[in-house]
Each structure stands twice: as structure tokens, then as C-alpha cells.
Amino acid sequence: MRKTCKQLHKILKKGKVFDFEAGKDFRAYLNSFSNFPDNGIYYMFEEGEAGHKDKRIVRIGINRQGTLAHRLNTHINGTVRNSIFRKHLFRILGIEKKVFQHIQKEISFCVINDPDNRRKEIEKKSIGEVSNCRACMPSRNWLGLKSETKRIKESGLWNVHHVFGEDRLNNNDLKYIEDNLVVAKTVKKGGGNSLFQ
Ligand SMILES: [Zn+2]
């Protein structure tokens, strides 16, 4: 078995885990962290899903337009048109309220900053890595198994693009992820929590 996916999970374990508990006030919640990255990559986890004896990554994404906080907000407070993730959930759960509640209660995430503008590449390689990892299979109860999208069901990821792709993370990529990870240790200072040590 390739060790890279395990290493990725190990790195993310040191990251600050954000959740969507704030719901409608999610944007304000993120804004309360004074230096939440403008651009970055997010790795999502879902309740009940385990991989490498840790939280299993269930979705990987980045911000293309707008900020990372804006992108993450569209997942919980957006529409099926501006969030593909919502669209996948909506097709299974059937009503917007259930989609909102599922994201609010079951999904959490870590983020990495992207000072060198490498997020497209890192996203692609991360999805290639995790979707091809045999230690990252979904549990029998994973909601995504009800999806009609074959790539979701088979990969255990709420992703379609780059799933089962050939590109993989190398040591340099892992170092970039580790160096730019928003870490668990937060310092409350003035108006907001500092996310970097
Ligand atoms: Zn894995």
C-alpha cells in the first residue's frame, strides 16, 4: 500500500478542524478568525467515516473565484447552482433543509493556505491520491453510497473531477501542505483568533 495517503491524513491531524455548526452565521464564524486564508485548499471529513485510523477525507476542494471563505460558505448557504457538493447531496436527500442540516451536523474540514498559487495542482493530486487509496474506503453507512454518480460511490469522495486520476502527491507536495496547514493551536487576540503560530 502506498504510504502517501496515510502521511496526508497524519499531517491533517495537526490541523485546526472547522465545522459548519454556525449554519446561517457561518460566514461570520469564519470572519471571526482574523487571518483565515484568502486562497487555499480544503479537506472535508464526515461523521462516522474513518480512514488510516483517523477521520477519512470525503471531499477535497479549492476556491477558484472569490475567497476560500466565500467558497466554503456556498456549500452550506449556497444553492445547487453554485455548489456541486450541495447538488450531490440534494440529489440524495431531496430537500434543501436536509442538505443544510447534513452539512451543519456531519461535515467538518481543515484548510491549507496557498501562498504559491498551487491549489489547482494540489487539489488534483490529492484527489488522485485519496480516490486510489484502498485504506480510504467508505463505511457501509456512508451517505454517498446512495449517490447515482458512480465515481462518488466507488471512490468514497464527494468529488467527480480528478477521481481515479493518475496524478499523485510527492514529498514536495506533502511538505507544502504541512507548511501551509492552518494549525489546531489558535490564539485569541483582540478581535479574532490567530490561525498561525
Ligand atoms: Zn488513504
Q: How far is the CA of 56 from the centre of ligand 1 (A)?
A: 8
CB 112 within 8 A of CB 48: no
Question: How far are the Cα atoms of 24, 43, 58 from residue 142, in angstroms, in the given order?
Answer: 25, 17, 10
Cα→Cα distances 136→71, 79, 150, 193, 197, Å: 25, 29, 16, 32, 31
The DSSP string of 65-81 is SS-HHHHHHHHHHS-TT
Q: Could you read off the pLDDT of 131-141 as tens digits, one per residue? A: 999 999 999 99
pLDDT bucket at 35, cuts 50 / 70 / 90: confident
What SS3 class is residue 18? Answer: strand
The overall average pLDDT reported for the chain is 93
Q: Model pTM?
A: 0.93
What is the pLDDT at residue 189? 47
Asked whether 44 and 123 are in contact (CB, 8 A), the reply is no
Amino acid residing at 167: D
| CA 77 to ligand 1 center in whole angstroms | 29
Residue 196 has pLDDT above 80, yes or no: no
State in Å: Cα 59 to ligand 1 middle.
12
Q: Regarding beta strands 187-189 and 107-113, do their DSSP bridges make them parallel or antiparallel, or are they unpaired?
A: unpaired
Please give the span between the terminal C-alpha atoms of the chain, in angstroms, as a whole number.
34
